[in-house]
Structure 1
Amino acid sequence: MTAATDRDVIAAHASYAATTLTVDASRPADPPFTGTVQMGSNTSPGGHTIGINSRYLTRDGEPWLPVMGELHYTRVPDAHWDDELAKIDAAGVDIVSSYVIWRHHEVRAGEFDWSGLRDLRRFVQACARRGLLAFVRIGPWVHAEVRYGGLPDWVVDQVPTRSDDPLYLQYVQRFFAQIATQLDGLWWKDGGPIIGVQLENEYNLTGPQQGAAHITTLKRIAREAGLDAPLYTVTGWDNAVFPHGEVAPVFGGYPDLPWGTVTTMSPPNEVYGLRFTSRVGGDLGAQTHNSEAGDADAVAGETPFLGAEFGGGLPTMYRRRPVLDADDIAAMLPVQLGSGVNLYGYYMLHGGRNPPRDLSGQESTATGGYNDLPIINYDFQAPFGANGEAHPVLGKLRPMHLFLRQWGSALATCAVYAPDVLPRGADDLDTPRFSVRANGDHGFLFFNNHVRQHAMPARRCVQFSVRLATRTVVLPAKPIDIAPGSGFIWPIGLPLGDAQLRYATVQPVTQLPTPEGDMYVFAAIDGIAPEFAFEAGSVTDISPSAESAEPQTIDALDGARVVRPVVGEALIVTCADGQRITLLTLAREDIERLSVLPLAGQHRLILTDATAFERNGNLVFRSIGSASFDVGIYPPLARMPDATTDTYAFTLTPPQPGVFQRFSVSVAPVAFEASLTPLRAARAMPPIVRGGTAKAAVEPAPELFGHAAAWRIDLPEPALTAPGLSNAYLSIRYMGDVGRLFCGPDLIDDHFYNGLPWQIGVRNVKIDPGQPLMLTVLPLRADAPIYLDARYDPRPHTTDQVAEVKGVSWVPEYEVTVFPGSVMRERI
């Protein structure tokens, strides 16, 4: 920071009194203890273990804080599983969880289908090939926005469900035995990837033959069938009941409530406030209710804070259709990690579609459900959408996943310490939201200044004072402003090799071994100058990595050397023992483009706007809509990458500031036109009916869909199979109530209008080139009692109804596969 900049900051702060935000993290945490939860077999043939104690999970006896993400194998074409799992691995996720949806496997009693996208065994084997662990959520009732919570119709028609009714248990036993057959040999004890089983879902029933004893029964049946995993869990929210000591509760939270009944914007949501008193979040949409206190808080001192359903997005339900911004999801991580979460689980991580031909399998008010869902589409606005496309939120989440892969073991042991001044509640937007997780003299500071749809104030002229076990750390060196919407995780007392970092005002992302020594990558926080404070005795020199680089500002402060690096340029730190480490601080826009992937024998930083992942030792890039993109690689390659065909150019570009070796990738563009022909105009719609269990707007009856406007979409047959593409999308922009896409007589996708483009991957749905494509749009009445985001709501601009298509386009998804090839050409 220059002297002029310092003066500007001082002048800007002159009208504000400095505020010190304090937290006492000096009290030692209670040591963890074991034996409070009955586990299954937890040791692999190679001696590797999965464990659980009162505070955290362990892997091979070491503290472990993994990331878990939900992907429903029956909602994703099985031909895509390998690549989708590779993308999930590249996103820094460790565990894939999935419901085993009963109705998808036993439509008729005694007739099981485990083929195609229902092949659970092959899906788990695909997880293992990617090095991903698996968590099977076997229900039998799973919710999942599926009819009857996934229970087959013939079960619901015949017996009392979700209870110890003998005939129901007989059917459950047969179903669990089938699952066990599919998963034989794939459990952790066999050397397989399955580490956990979730029983039931949102279970808070306490009627006849119900209650905690039913969960005990389900666990017994599962174990007798051979479903033997280290971990057994249940969901812990909404007054859940379960047997203490038999299962560990998992928790979650969503940034909005699409299952709610109000048609206005939601108040500030609890997921943006730290949880210091209870792990149980707010409304998570359970369909049953229990007026008595549940069991989750009673075992909080015996089980770690595990997450399974922190919203990676939201479903679009008929009466409420929130649209999320990427920060609405990303802001939850510092909050929940700062609340003590020691397993971060997303629902959903990857969207999808209900299986073909199951056109009555969605949750609906017509079949007694609380909500109306699309028949097919389950995009969820998840990090990976219904077609597997990366949504913008992925770039914000991946750096935090990488952080947990690198430093999660240190964080897992840290206890939670609340600040001295706490917000009064979720609607208190004035009191700063932060916490510290610490263990002795090291830890992490968590801060959040984002609440979805509600303006937060700038925090002017603030510093933090953290009292640790033997010292107090004040950071940063001078008061700073924290912008509205900002959030971060800052390290305190973090060792970087043999250098001791007192604090930093940048977020740790990853550590990368290189031939020149370890590189540590950090993310700069918008509006806050990067600052590293090293204990003076632990370092002897701090200097730029290149002679041409800008000088770094270095000050002395209370026994520390404080350096303010230039964003994008590397910094070499020489430790007292002579070891050298490299620090690289990247701007937010670069951090959101960053992956860490294996290439040419080592892990490298990959910087690109394309989606990048590894396949069979090669690097794969996918670019939607753009036939050219840039790639940065570090450490640089000694050999020029070769493309798999002659259709792309992979060109080394002139050197630029910073450490990355830069390439430009260009692909032969592919273009097809999707033409749109009106077939019929919309007819007047009657008022939307209120009803169902929620006494709110319900989806129009099937016969009213004949009132929809219709268009024919003409797409050249080569657009479905164009070579050099991994996929292509029909991108439909429309306004109305419900959109449906038919191929001949078959419904192949549907969409509740929410203002976002409706994306249909032509290789994700079955399109018969011999059949016409027809798009229908049901009109949206101006008086429709549903919630739409004000940014996309057409009703203020009409007094009648709206059903129009703004455009349909064909968008290619290019794929480039490269691997190190010939000797690197001379630099340009």
Structure 2
Amino acid sequence: MPFIEVPADIGAPQTGHLRLGDPSTIEVTSRYLTRDGRPFIPVMGEFHFSRYPAAEWAEELRKIRAGGITMVATYLFWNVHEEERGRFDFTGDRDVRAFVRACGEAGLEVVARLGPWVHGESRHGGFPDWVVAAPVRHRTDDPAYLALIRPYLTEVVNRLRGLDPIVAIQVENELYDQPGHLLTLKHLIRELGLDAPLWTATGWGHAQLPADELLPVFGGYSEAAWDTAHDGWPQQSRAHYFFGPGRDDDSIGADLRTDAVAATDESHLTRYPWATCELGGGMYTSYHRRPIVEADDLAALSLVKIGCGSSLQGFYMYHGGSQKIGTRSTLQESHATGYPNDCPVVNYDFQAPLGDGGQFRPSWFALRQQHLWLADHGHRLAPMTLHLPSDAPRDTADRTTLRWAVRADGDSGYLFVNNHQPVETLPDHDQKLFTVRLGAADLAVPRTPVTIPSGAYFVWPLNQPIGAARIVTATAQPLCDLVVEGVPTAVLSETPGVPLELVVDGVLIDDLVPGLGGLRRITAPDGSAAAILVLDHAAALHATRGTLWGADRLVISAAPVVLDEGTAIVYGPPAPVFVYPPVDGHRTEGVFSVHEFSTGDLTPLPAETTLLQPAGPARDTVLDAATGRASAPADFSTARIVHVTVPEELFADPGTEVLLRIDWTGDVARAHLDGRLIADQFWHGRVWEIPLRRHHKEAVTHGLELRILPRDPEAPIYVSPQVRTGTALEVRAIEFVRRPRTVLGDPR
């Protein structure tokens, strides 16, 4: 029988040793962060302001916040702001001060990743070409290099000084062998006039950091576009689907490290809480390796990191974007810059929860479940420590042992199970129950053994308080907490494939049916009232909570919903919105009121196209001499060229986003607008969507020109097995899709 024993006293964390910004309401212990003395688990999402139109920042930031993100991390790319020496540009999409202010207005804090070397698949890691050519020892304390970076950092600091939303500053990125230089950068930025409560640096690759000066932050990806084109799953990615104390992932940044990583000891990291900044919110596509990341791949990895002890959940990327094109050269990394991976010229969608056109992806919904839980339970979870069973998997090759763990203190906790990983399917586990000793009590969950289905990943509560009552055990995942007419209400989500069982204050509840009517009112031992609402999995996946119609409410809709200033902004085709507690005057279903609306006909509109040139044969694959990896084509003379007419009537409602959706198979495709490249894609099995609202006038005037190259199915290029095809080129559909916004509720 699986068994974990949690000591009655897990010990106090170390405090006060990390030298951070001052003054600060955020403090750091060796296990967790606190705000005003209260433990919490922030959730950070990466969004690159210079890769997105400034006119759309406000809307996108509210989508980010609606996904449960509390902090926005953003790179400052030096080559975007000072492509030519001495000519600084912080205007328009490059206006970092305006972006930070927009974050604050959206209720988000900011983590400024200043560099000056940052990467993010930006040419030379963001260094302008003139910096690369300078006769200095880059990324060191060489006085000539410090003199080179000082004017740029001065310009950056002058624009960020005094902005309250900035709560953290990251210096450099993936610098693993220059701890003195990292400290120099921190001191320089402070000297120039910028400080923040938190200072961070990436810790992967067993990076050497100045002790107690910077909080090490880590990452983990379900796939790796920087790996070779081998036909399989990257070895290091497996580790992120197992519970354990190890934080490092030495595969991140390995494509740029010149020295082998020899150190493996992580004992020095126990001085710091486990914080992440790059949990893969998806993955970019390099020319030679084009993996698909599914929503479950990301959500399972994220849940495992929480179970392992994460005190800060950071996703890279959380919102996709489009790479800027420079005045003299393209600004993406490529074989031409000496980088081992050829990247798209423009596309940086990253398969992120929010796409490069603001599209809501399934991963946005899957992660939102976890973030709702962290928002309400993070103060309890943060101080809890990881505990593993004695029969934990032997190593990352183990596909037969069930992966589970407990994060707990001496009295309560959470039981985590992961039976999902990409590529290699894990088996069902029959007749499973879990026993956890918390203090002197043994908790068995469930009371009757169950089957843990293949692909399942979940967290169950152990001794979760709900008012004066207590959920002792449950085979349902905590979602959020509400207070409805003064009654504390725990909202939980069923675990698909596992029968629902609740034990509340020692009483078994096994007759509650999950769904919109799955509400049970209970009486706590002191006579006070409490309630439990258990949603089915589909409803919980589409649930959010916030202020609507003057009250704190649970809102469920199959369409994406952004709660903002007392309203519910519903995106896309109409879908009923369910609200609890219900709103008077509306029909009800279960305990929810139902709100329906119409947006008119949103049927995709086939595009009017003109074939300008048929495709020629697939080109011979060119291999990069330095790496042996396939290089992206520069010659589009054999491309199929199609002109797409863009009707004005698509833009009748300025609040509606219009996407040009291309369902295709091939190698590389590019979209030009009046001769200017605005979008591209390496085919990897996903439909290509190009946002048009930002190009409205030009698109209607000129139309778009698509250039699509055929693919050699025998080329040394990795594509995920589920989408592989021998077809060299096929365009199945080109159509326009409209995504309107509908506003419900009463503004405050």
Partner SS, residue 615 of structure 2 = coil
Whether 1:580 aligns to 2:508 is no
Deviation at 1:479, TM superposition (A): 0.5
Contact between 2:47 and 2:320, CA under 8 Å: does it hold in 1? yes
Contact between 2:278 and 2:316, CA under 8 Å: does it hold in 1? yes
Partner SS, residue 576 of structure 2 = strand
Deviation at 1:585, TM superposition (A): 0.6
In the alignment, what sits opposite 2:205? 238
Deviation at 1:278, TM superposition (A): 2.1
Contact between 1:724 and 1:815, CA under 8 Å: does it hold in 2? no
Deviation at 1:385, TM superposition (A): 0.6
Partner SS, residue 260 of structure 1 = coil
Deviations 1:220-267 (A, max 9, x none): 111111220111111111132221111111011000111111331215
Q: Pick from 604, 622, 630 the counterpart of residue 571 of structure 2.
A: 622
Q: Pick from 171, 193, 196 the counterpart of residue 199 of structure 1.
A: 171
Q: Pick from 324, 340, 365 the counterpart of residue 335 of structure 2.
A: 365
Q: Pick from 507, 513, 520 the counterpart of residue 566 of structure 1.
A: 513
Q: Pick from 437, 441, 445 the counterpart of residue 475 of structure 1.
A: 445
In the alignment, what sits opposite 2:123? 147
Q: Pick from 246, 249, 255 the counterpart of residue 281 of structure 1.
A: 249
* Structure 2 spans left out of the alignment, 5+ residues: none
Deviation at 1:371, TM superposition (A): 1.2
Deviations 1:483-528 (A, max 9, x none): 0000111111111110022111110010112215122110100011
Deviation at 1:687, TM superposition (A): 2.1
Contact between 2:13 and 2:30, CA under 8 Å: does it hold in 1? yes
Q: How does 1:126-145 map to 2 (within 5 A)?
A: 126-145=102-121
Q: One-letter code of the match for 2:166?
A: I
Q: Pick from 679, 682, 685 the counterpart of residue 749 of structure 1.
A: 679
Q: Pick from 543, 546, 551 the counterpart of residue 602 of structure 1.
A: 551
In the alignment, what sits opposite 1:417? 387
Q: In 1, distance between residues paired with 2:538 and 2:108?
A: 28
Q: In 2, distance between residues paired with 1:101 and 1:561?
A: 57
Deviation at 1:605, TM superposition (A): 1.1
Q: One-letter code of the match for 1:632?
A: F
In the alignment, what sits opposite 2:260? 291
Q: In 1, distance between residues paired with 2:388 and 2:641?
A: 57
Whether 1:254 aligns to 2:252 is no
In the alignment, what sits opposite 1:29? 10
In the alignment, what sits opposite 2:179? 212
Partner SS, residue 693 of structure 2 = coil
Deviation at 1:696, TM superposition (A): 1.4
Q: Pick from 618, 635, 646 the counterpart of residue 581 of structure 2.
A: 635
Q: 1:219 to 1:661 in 2, by over 3 A?
A: same
Whether 1:343 aligns to 2:312 is yes
Deviations 1:783-817 (A, max 9, x none): 2110012222222xx5xxx2331110000011111
Q: In 1, distance between residues paired with 2:119 and 2:267?
A: 25
In the alignment, what sits opposite 2:665? 735
Q: In 1, distance between residues paired with 2:628 and 2:196?
A: 42
Q: How does 1:665-814 map to 2 (within 5 A)?
A: 665-669=597-601, 672-691=605-624, 693-700=626-633, 702=634, 704-719=635-650, 721-723=651-653, 725-765=655-695, 767-795=698-726, 802-814=728-740
Q: In 1, distance between residues paired with 2:91 and 2:265?
A: 38
In the alignment, what sits opposite 2:296? 327
Return the index of the structure with the highest Cα Rg: 1
Structure 1 residue ranges (4+ consecutive) displaced by more than 6 angstroms after TM superposition = none
Deviation at 1:535, TM superposition (A): 2.3
Partner SS, residue 503 of structure 1 = strand
In the alignment, what sits opposite 2:321? 352
Q: 1:600 to 1:266 in 2, by over 3 A?
A: same
Contact between 1:448 and 1:486, CA under 8 Å: does it hold in 2? yes
Q: One-letter code of the match for 1:629?
A: A
Q: 1:673 to 1:475 in 2, by over 3 A?
A: closer
- TM, length-normalised to structure 1: 0.87
Whether 1:659 aligns to 2:591 is yes
Aligned length: 739
Deviation at 1:160, TM superposition (A): 3.0
Deviations 1:721-777 (A, max 9, x none): 221642010000111110100112111100000111001111245744322411011
Q: In 2, distance between residues paired with 1:78 and 1:127?
A: 12
Partner SS, residue 740 of structure 2 = strand
Q: In 2, distance between residues paired with 1:779 and 1:501?
A: 58
Q: In 2, distance between residues paired with 1:345 and 1:789?
A: 26
Partner SS, residue 575 of structure 2 = strand
Contact between 1:387 and 1:764, CA under 8 Å: does it hold in 2? no
In the alignment, what sits opposite 2:152? 175
Deviation at 1:81, TM superposition (A): 1.0
Q: How does 1:394-405 map to 2 (within 5 A)?
A: 394-405=364-375
Whether 1:463 aligns to 2:433 is yes
Deviation at 1:481, TM superposition (A): 0.5
Q: One-letter code of the match for 2:157?
A: A
Q: In 1, distance between residues paired with 2:263 and 2:23?
A: 28
- TM, length-normalised to structure 2: 0.96
Deviation at 1:270, TM superposition (A): 2.6
Q: 1:168 to 1:403 in 2, by over 3 A?
A: same
Q: In 2, distance between residues paired with 1:769 and 1:580?
A: 60
Q: 1:718 to 1:196 in 2, by over 3 A?
A: same
In the alignment, what sits opposite 1:51? 27
Deviation at 1:534, TM superposition (A): 1.9
Contact between 2:103 and 2:109, CA under 8 Å: does it hold in 1? yes
Deviation at 1:281, TM superposition (A): 2.4
Q: One-letter code of the match for 2:450?
A: I
Contact between 1:261 and 1:696, CA under 8 Å: does it hold in 2? yes
In the alignment, what sits opposite 1:8? none
Q: 1:30 to 1:388 in 2, by over 3 A?
A: same
Q: One-letter code of the match for 1:738?
A: V
Deviation at 1:279, TM superposition (A): 0.9
Contact between 1:338 and 1:437, CA under 8 Å: does it hold in 2? yes
Q: How does 1:544-555 map to 2 (within 5 A)?
A: none
Deviation at 1:271, TM superposition (A): 4.3
Deviation at 1:445, TM superposition (A): 0.6
Deviation at 1:612, TM superposition (A): 1.3
In the alignment, what sits opposite 1:543? none
Q: How does 1:77-156 map to 2 (within 5 A)?
A: 77-156=53-132
Deviation at 1:601, TM superposition (A): 2.2
Which stretch has the larger CA shift, 664-673 or 28-37?
Answer: 664-673
Q: Pick from 215, 224, 228 the counterpart of residue 191 of structure 2.
A: 224
* Structure 1 spans left out of the alignment, 5+ residues: 1-19, 44-48, 187-191, 206-210, 537-559, 641-651, 822-828
Q: In 1, distance between residues paired with 2:371 and 2:11?
A: 27
Q: 1:436 to 1:564 in 2, by over 3 A?
A: farther
Q: One-letter code of the match for 2:246?
A: S
In the alignment, what sits opposite 1:531? 501
Q: One-letter code of the match for 2:74?
A: S
Deviation at 1:718, TM superposition (A): 2.7
Q: One-letter code of the match for 2:563?
A: E
Partner SS, residue 770 of structure 1 = helix
Contact between 2:8 and 2:409, CA under 8 Å: does it hold in 1? no
Deviation at 1:686, TM superposition (A): 3.6
Partner SS, residue 454 of structure 1 = coil
Q: In 2, distance between residues paired with 1:138 and 1:344?
A: 20
Q: 1:728 to 1:755 in 2, by over 3 A?
A: same
CA-atom RMSD in angstroms: 1.8
In the alignment, what sits opposite 1:67? 43
Q: One-letter code of the match for 1:583?
A: I
Q: In 2, distance between residues paired with 1:506 and 1:678?
A: 55
Q: In 2, distance between residues paired with 1:506 and 1:326?
A: 20
Deviations 1:561-601 (A, max 9, x none): 44441112211011122221121111111111111122122
